[in-house]
Amino acid sequence: MAGFVEKCLKVVATSWLRRVAPTPGPRPAESDLQRISRILVVRLDDRIGNAVLATPLLVALKGRFSRAHLTCLLARRHWDLRKFIPSADEFIPFDRAALAKNPLGIRSLIRQLRAMKFDLVFDAADDRSVSFNHLIVTALSGGRFRVGHARGEAARFYEVPVPVPAAPRHAAQMHLDLLRAVTSFRSTPRPLLKPPKDDTGYGDRFLSRVRANPALPLVLIHPGGRGPKRWSAAEFAAVARLLRESRRVETAMVWGPSDEDAAREVLKTAGDSIHPAGILSFDDLIALIRRAVVFLSGDCGPMHLASAMGTPVVAIFLVSDADKYRPLGPKDILLDGRTRAITPDDVAGALWQTIDHFQRAGSPRAGGVMPVPSPLPQGEGDR
């Protein structure tokens, strides 16, 4: 019943939007692109991973329009992530929970955006479904040129409606397709985050507190994932025991508020094979991720954080679309459980492959952190 009511409300709201939104004008010409000075990227999703996957678009925009002021509309739920997101000059918070309680609160945000007089506005929602929040913000933003994927009713609100290809591609490429429909550019398709200006040192403090050996490689586990994306607690625990028996690594585990039950089950079964770190702030979580030699998880937001921070990932995909959401780091390993069952031995083997590589290379992660790979340098120039 709730789903039916929501669908009816969206139909009514879309009809209203057709009446009040400005009629799209012509596409931007090359002369228009030379005068771009303010750009807005609308990325409202509450999921951390989706914000991380939009970073290639931000990097590409700053490389193409180096003199433009780049603003990102970001979900307040992961507001602290903004300090690690590259290329954006400014962030504006979007509070989805507050808007659900008071839908008329959207008016103040729209007034704020219109006052900023954006030249280019990108609706960076998913290309396979219509997000009304993205649509109303983009359509009423006052942007001179609005760009978005041509899905359903959304196509009529953009100066540049971008066709959705039949062939699947990665989410990072999905976002880059928006800019590709406007202009040519150079970019990297890999999501990247900025290293912290001041590392909290949490990784070393944590290892000292749990009396772990700081000279050994650290394997960091996250047992989370939404619903069927989650590997079982018993299997995570089995991997932790396999690693512990080798006495060659230290193993720790982090989790989020929605993963507490799974984490308790892992700890109950794994015993002293794993050091619990718990729920951490963004700053401390990223400090611990950067201290680790490899990050193990299912398809979840922290998996994308780790890959974007340059920490190799072993990702277990059970039902997720791996073509669209797999991690893209050069040392990341995807274990695709859609075609066969993934066992603890499979996972341990993938972890040892990564650990052995870093030990052969003389990794500085034992007692330090690896630098984050550099994105496309800013200032590539307007072309």
215, 83: one domain: no
Are residue 235 and residue 321 in the same domain, yes or no? yes
Residues 103 and 211 both lie in one domain: no
Which residue's structure tokens are 């982090």? 254
pLDDT in tens, 301-337: 999 999 999 999 999 999 999 999 999 999 999 999 9
- Same domain for 327 and 244: yes
> Does one domain contain both 44 and 163?
yes
Section 134-157 average pLDDT: 92
Note the pLDDT of residue 10.
67
Instruction: Give residue-wise pLDDT tens across range 229-283.
Output: 999 999 999 999 999 999 899 999 999 999 999 999 999 999 899 999 999 999 9
Give per-residue pLDDT as tens, 341-371: 999 999 999 999 999 988 887 655 544 555 5
Judged by average pLDDT, the poorest of 60-64, 75-79, 97-101 is 97-101
- The boundaries of the domain holding residue 45 are 34-180
**Residues 288, 166 share a domain:** no
pLDDT band, very low/low/confident/very high, at 377 (cuts 50, 70, 90) = very low
Residues 221 and 344 in one domain: yes
CATH code for position 119: 3.40.50.2000
Per the domain annotation, does 372 fall within a domain? Answer: no
Note whether residue 5 is domain-resident.
no
Same domain as 267, residue 149: no
- State whether 150 and 233 are in the same domain: no
pLDDT value of position 326: 96
Phi, psi of 221 (to 5 degrees): -115, 140
Q: What's the DSSP call for residue 335?
A: E
Work out how many domains the chain is built from and give that number. Answer: 2
How much is the mean pLDDT over the chain?
A: 90
Helix, strand or coil, per DSSP, at residue 94: strand
Whole-angstrom Cα distance, residue 194 to residue 84? 5
DSSP alpha helices (H): ranges in the chain? 2-20, 30-33, 48-53, 55-64, 96-101, 106-116, 132-139, 171-180, 202-209, 233-246, 260-270, 282-291, 301-308, 322-325, 344-361
Confidence of residue 18 (pLDDT cuts 50, 70, 90): confident
Residue 203: its pLDDT value, please? 93
**pLDDT at site 167:** 86
Please, which pLDDT band fits residue 11 given cuts at 50, 70 and 90? low
Q: Using the 3D structure, point to which of 180, 212, 239 is the last residue of a domain.
A: 180
> Is 291 found in the same domain as 321?
yes
Token pair belonging to 86? 């590259």
Q: Of 370, 373, 358, whose CA–CA distance to 56 is shortest?
A: 373
Q: Do 130 and 271 belong to one domain?
A: no
- Comparing CA positions, the residue from 225, 222, 232, 226 lying closest to residue 341 is 232
pLDDT at res. 3? 57
pLDDT score, position 105: 85
Q: What's phi and psi for 288, nearest 5 deg? A: -70, -40
pLDDT above 70: percentage of residues in the chain: 91
Query: Is there a single domain that holds both residue 228 and residue 266?
Result: yes
**187 assigned to some structural domain:** no
- pLDDT of residue 379 exceeding 50, the answer is no
